[in-house]
Every structure is written in structure tokens, then in C-alpha cells.
């Protein structure tokens, strides 16, 4: 039977076919463009990744070679902030290395003789492209070493700043390499060791005490016009314990006098740029470091020191007891301890130290000469005794100060009960002495300190709490003129920036800095100091009359007696 086509049964028209073809072409083009764009992005990302990897590899090699270097060559005209030369130890003896930026090429080379490094042809490409390279040299005391001026033997660390760039995107890289504390010596261009220093200048010292001086010391130093160790030498001192955790930076000396428990614990990528003085147990782990100075720990019976998980002491380490090191931890200096079997070092999982020297534990002085056989441990006076705090009978105030809602007040020195400032209120305090039962400052409120007529002393019977973006303004002075004594402790949290000296005199007091707070000055307590979560503390010397050898801000009890 023949098939009958009805008039309402239509096929595709030419126009419809053309439209479908156009749609198909557009879809195909879109898919092709997406695939092509993705491929270009992948190729670009792969190239960027390779660029970054090359720069990172170059940085790692440079840091590794500098850490193991016996010392820099003569700084003179041959080393500047973009060109560095140093000795390297190889199995066949000492060789000489050079690193410089040539155009966008980071170049590296080694030769048997120093003068051969003058020929740029001796260098090979280490990384490309590098658009910026700078070396900054630091001495043992943390001050900057100037190329062409300072002795290369004084250089203790090298800060390396490098920038790589690809497709208009700049990636900065920064790393610090610490030269070995025992081998940071200078080398002349004839390949011989430079021994031109004055006799005795190359001796290592734990601490000679604070030498008398008529001029102010640099920040973080231990020369405050009197001799010996005192609280005024520390940025943080907790008599019972000091705990530092989670990416904190401490610029100054840290100490604790505790004989039991974990006297000092540092974990999760902290840096102490100064001395670390721990009478009892020391526990460092997870990338924590002590830089530029010396550490002393475990100086009482049954105490010990433990290092784990890439933590470092970039300096010498003193102890009377056993040391446990594991998981790539490193003491980049000499370990001074009693002879075996009285004390020993346990190493595991690529942990290491540079050298060990036996010490005489029956003596107690402040000098060490590694070239002699009478290396000795510092004595008891290195651990300062904390002074007695203010008596409760000194607090007689009866009036509360409660500010809030944009209040603004000028408060004269005197006796008060509780001080509470909140909700953007403002308070001004002038020179003189204040007494409170407690202090609470929070919620974007502010205190203005005016030192027009001298220091400000604040005594608190209970605690001080500073939180939630509370802020402080300093007129006609700075941290070296502000003393705060909260007997039972202090809490600083949530981005508070405090400048001044804190002393919590109660044995159960706790001073806590947390969550992005900063301290400029110092914090001392007979109890515990806790520092955690991206806190920065920087030592500032208290105001001191260097002519008359008289403290201006702190009581004389914070300073050791002249010896």
C-alpha cells in the first residue's frame, strides 16, 4: 500500500537546517576555545611552577652552603649586597664559592683559589629569572655588618631576599642562613685564615655581666650600667614557667627560674632573637628557634633538654644534664656540658650539633674560652631573684571609674578602686603614680599616656585585662617611661598593642599575650608567662640614668648589685 503524506506533516526547511548548523558550529568553537584556553593556562601555570621551583631550589642551595660554610671571605670590595663569597668545606679541603645576580640569572661557582672567582666565567646558572637579589649581613649582637667596613669574622647570619618573576607576577622569597657559631671565621684572598684580630677578641663568652658604661646600650643588650644579670636584662621572665606557641617572635632575652615541670616550652614555629635562660627543663619542638645568641638550660638535678621536629639553637648551648635531639633538630654551635657519663647527647632521625666541649661544673664564672680546658658554667646569679611586690595595704581607693559610650576623661594620679573603659571611651593619664583594684579596657576604647613631667607608675591589686582592639597613645615619651604592676596577672588579647614594663608580683600570677598582640618593653612575673598565636614582643631598655648609675623607671631591686 502506498504511503500517503498529509499536508500538515512537514520536514526541515533550508532555513532550519542552516540555523542548526550555525548552532553546532558555535558550540564546537566554544568547546575548542575552552580547551585551548585551559591548555594555555595549564602551560602557563606549569611554566610559573617551574620558575618558582628553580628559585626555591636556588635559595635552598645557597642557604645550605652558607649554613655549612667555615666563614665569609674578606668582605672588602669583593662582597656587597648583591655579590657574596664564602668558604665551603669539601672532602678534598676548603674551596671558595661565589653567588651573584647577572642580569636575571642567579649564578653560583666554586674554585680552589679565591681570586679565580673574579672571573665571571667561573660561575654557572643556578636559577632564572631572578629580578631582585639582596644580602644583609648581621653580627652576633644582631647589628648590621657593612660590606667594606666590618670584619667578615663578625658576620653571624645572612638574610637573603630574592624575587622571581613570570608573566608579570612577582614572587618574593626570603630566608636567613646562620653561619656555624664555631667556624664563623674570615678567610683572606690567598686562602689563609685571617687571624688579624686582637688577642682575646675571638673568645666566646656566655655573658660577662653588664659592664659599667656612661652611654646607653643598644636595645636588647645586657649593658644597663651595672654588672651582672637582672630582670632588666629580659623581655620575658616567668619565675615558674614560660610557654611560647604558634608563630610568635620574641626580640630579646627570655628566662625562667623554675626547677620543676616544663620550665620553658616553645612549639610551632617561634623565634627567640636573644638569650634563652632556663634553670629547669627545656622543651622545644616544631620549628622553634633561638637565634643570634646563647641558650642555657637544665641546670638543676633531674632536669633535661629536649629538641624535636626541626627546632634549632643558632648559637651555643650550655647544660648540666642530658640532651635529647631528634627529627632534624640542630644546635648550630657548641654544646657545653659535663663529661660522659655524667651527661650525654642522644641523637636520632638526622638531629645534629656542631661540637661538644666538657665543662667544669664545680666553678661558676661568666667567661668561656673554647681554646682552653677550663670552660665553665655560669653561676646561680644568672637567674635573677624577683623583687617583692607592692603591699595590699597600699590600696585605699574607694571610687570606681566607669567610662563608656564615647566618654572622655582626664584622670589625675591618686587612689581609685576599679577602672573600666569600654565602647570607644577615652581616658588621659599624666605623669605620676596611680592605684587601682582592677583595670578593664576593651571594645575600641583608648588610654592616652602623657609623660610630660616624667614616668607613669600604675599599681593594680588584682588583674588587668586589655582586649578587643583597646588602644594606647604615648605622648612625650614611650615604653621606657611606663611601669605597670598588676599583682595577680594581665591578659592582652585580640590585637592589643602594649608598650611598657609589666611586673606581676604574685606567685600565682599569669601574664598572657594572645591573638596578634604586641609588646614593646618587658613582662616579668613570679608566676607564668604564656605567649601564643602570632604575638610579637620586643625588648626596650627601661629609662636609666647612665651618668649617676641610677634607674629612673624601675626600682633598684630590678637590677643586680655591683660586683
Sorting pLDDT into bands at 50, 70 and 90, what band is 10? low
Question: Would you say residue 34 has pLDDT above 80?
Answer: no
Give the pLDDT score at 121: 66
The span from the CA of 287 to the CA of 251, in Å, is 17
What is the mean pLDDT of the segment spanning 314-321? Answer: 86
Cell numbers standing for residue 401? 571609674
Higher pLDDT, 221 or 151: 151
Give the pLDDT score at 28: 75
Question: Would you say residue 531 has pLDDT above 50?
Answer: yes
What is the mean pLDDT of the segment spanning 143-164? Answer: 77
Which string of DSSP letters, residue by residue, matches 161-194? EEEEEETTEEEEEEEEEEPPTTT---B-TTS-B-
The span from the CA of 456 to the CA of 413, in Å, is 9
Give the pLDDT score at 30: 72
What is the mean pLDDT of the segment spanning 277-296? Answer: 87
Beta bridge partners of 346: 324
pLDDT tens-digit map of 370-387: 333 444 455 555 677 788
Domain boundaries, the chain: 46-178
Higher pLDDT, 182 or 50: 50
Other CB atoms within 10 A of residue 97 CB: 21
Question: Would you say residue 509 has pLDDT above 90?
Answer: yes
Sorting pLDDT into bands at 50, 70 and 90, what band is 489? very high
Give the pLDDT score at 190: 36
Give the pLDDT score at 499: 95
Inter-CA distances, 558 with 189, 237, 287, 481, 551, Å: 49, 12, 33, 15, 9
pLDDT tens-digit map of 402-442: 999 889 999 999 999 999 999 999 999 999 999 999 999 99
Checking 296-301 for CB contacts under 8 A at 24+ apart, the result is 296/206, 296/378, 296/382, 297/263, 297/264, 298/322, 298/323, 299/377, 300/259
Give the pLDDT score at 94: 73
What is the mean pLDDT of the segment spanning 10-18? Answer: 69
Q: Could you tell me if 483 and 462 are in contact, meaning their C-beta atoms sit under 8 angstroms apart?
A: no
Question: Would you say residue 193 has pLDDT above 90?
Answer: no
Question: Would you say residue 122 has pLDDT above 80?
Answer: no
Based on C-alpha coordinates, what's the Rg of the chain? Answer: 31
What is the mean pLDDT of the segment spanning 15-24? Answer: 75
Question: Would you say residue 203 has pLDDT above 60?
Answer: no
The span from the CA of 377 to the CA of 362, in Å, is 8
Q: Is 342 left (phi over 0), alpha (psi -120 to 50) or beta?
A: alpha
Higher pLDDT, 124 or 307: 307
Give the pLDDT score at 104: 85
- Per the confidence metrics, is the pTM higher than 0.85? no
Q: Could you tell me if 433 and 413 are in contact, meaning their C-beta atoms sit under 8 angstroms apart?
A: yes
Give the pLDDT score at 481: 95
Mean per-residue pLDDT of the chain: 78
Among 149-158, 260-269, 377-386, 445-454, which stretch is predicted with the lowest mean pLDDT?
Answer: 377-386
Cell numbers standing for residue 202? 675571638
Amino acid at each position: 500500500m502506498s504511503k500517503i503524506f498529509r499536508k500538515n506533516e512537514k520536514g526541515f526547511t533550508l532555513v532550519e537546517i542552516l540555523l542548526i548548523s550555525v548552532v553546532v558550529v558555535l558550540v564546537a568553537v566554544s568547546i575548542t576555545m575552552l580547551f585551548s584556553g585551559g591548555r594555555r593556562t595549564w602551560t602557563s601555570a606549569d611554566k610559573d611552577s617551574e620558575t618558582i621551583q628553580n628559585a626555591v631550589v636556588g635559595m635552598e642551595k645557597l642557604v645550605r652552603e652558607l649554613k655549612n660554610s667555615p666563614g665569609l671571605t674578606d668582605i672588602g670590595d669583593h662582597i656587597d649586597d648583591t655579590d657574596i663569597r664564602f668558604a665551603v668545606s669539601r672532602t678534598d679541603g676548603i674551596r671558595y664559592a661565589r653567588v651573584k645576580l647577572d642580569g636575571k640569572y642567579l649564578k653560583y661557582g666554586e674554585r680552589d683559589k679565591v681570586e679565580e672567582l673574579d672571573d665571571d666565567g667561573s660561575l654557572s646558572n643556578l636559577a632564572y629569572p631572578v629580578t631582585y637579589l639582596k644580602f644583609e649581613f648581621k653580627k652576633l649582637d644582631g647589628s648590621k655588618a657593612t660590606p667594606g667596613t666590618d670584619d667578615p669574622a663578625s658576620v653571624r647570619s645572612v638574610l637573603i631576599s630574592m624575587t622571581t618573576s613570570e608573566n608579570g607576577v612577582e614572587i618574593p622569597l626570603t630566608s636567613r642562613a646562620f653561619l656555624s657559631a664555631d667556624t664563623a671565621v674570615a678567610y683572606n684572598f690567598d686562602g689563609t685564615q685571617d687571624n688579624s684580630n686582637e688577642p682575646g677578641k675571638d673568645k666566646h663568652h656566655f655573658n660577662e655581666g653588664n659592664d659599667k658604661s656612661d652611654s646607653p646600650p643598644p636595645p636588647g643588650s645586657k649593658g644597663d650600667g651595672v654588672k651582672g644579670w637582672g630582670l632588666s636584662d629580659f623581655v620575658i621572665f616567668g619565675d615558674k614557667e614560660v610557654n611560647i606557641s604558634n608563630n610568635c617572635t620574641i626580640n630579646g632575652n627570655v628566662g625562667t627560674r623554675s626547677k620543676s615541670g616544663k620550665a620553658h616550652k616553645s612549639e610551632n614555629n617561634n623565634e627567640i632573637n636573644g638569650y634563652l635562660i632556663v634553670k629547669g627543663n627545656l622543651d622545644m619542638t616544631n620549628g622553634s628557634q633561638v637565634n643570634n645568641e646563647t641558650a642555657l638550660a637544665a641546670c638543676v638535678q633531674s632536669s633535661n633538654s629536649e629538641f624535636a621536629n626541626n627546632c634549632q639553637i643558632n648559637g651555643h648551648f650550655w647544660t648540666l644534664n642530658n640532651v635529647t635531639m631528634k627529627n632534624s633538630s640542630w644546635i648550630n654551635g657548641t654544646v657545653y656540658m659535663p663529661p660522659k657519663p655524667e651527661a650525654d647527647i642522644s641523637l636520632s632521625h638526622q638531629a645534629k650539633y656542631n661540637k661538644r666541649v666538657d665543662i667544669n661544673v664545680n666553678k661558676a664564672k661568666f667567661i668561656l674560652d673554647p681554646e682552653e680546658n677550663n670552660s665553665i658554667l655560669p653561676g646561680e646569679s644568672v637567674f635573677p631573684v624577683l623583687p617583692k611586690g607592692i603591699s595590699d595595704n597600699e590600696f585605699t581607693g574607694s571610687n570606681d571609674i566607669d567610662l563608656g559610650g564615647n566618654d572622655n576623661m582626664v584622670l589625675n594620679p591618686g587612689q581609685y578602686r576599679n577602672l573600666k573603659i569600654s565602647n570607644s571611651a577615652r581616658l588621659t593619664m599624666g605623669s605620676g603614680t596611680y592605684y587601682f583594684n582592677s583595670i578593664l579596657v576593651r571594645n575600641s576604647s583608648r588610654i592616652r599616656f602623657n609623660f610630660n613631667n616624667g614616668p607613669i607608675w600604675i599599681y593594680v591589686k588584682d588583674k588587668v585585662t586589655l582586649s578587643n582592639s583597646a588602644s594606647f597613645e604615648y605622648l612625650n615619651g614611650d615604653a621606657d617611661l611606663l611601669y605597670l604592676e598588676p599583682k595577680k596577672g594581665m591578659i592582652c588579647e585580640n590585637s592589643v598593642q602594649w608598650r611598657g614594663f609589666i611586673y606581676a608580683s604574685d606567685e600565682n600570677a599569669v601574664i598572657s599575650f594572645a591573638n596578634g598582640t604586641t609588646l614593646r618593653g618587658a613582662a616579668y612575673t613570679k608566676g607564668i608567662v604564656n605567649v601564643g598565636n602570632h604575638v610579637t614582643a620586643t625588648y626596650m631598655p627601661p629609662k636609666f640614668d647612665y651618668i649617676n648609675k641610677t634607674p629612673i623607671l624601675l626600682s633598684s631591686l630590678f637590677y643586680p648589685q655591683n660586683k
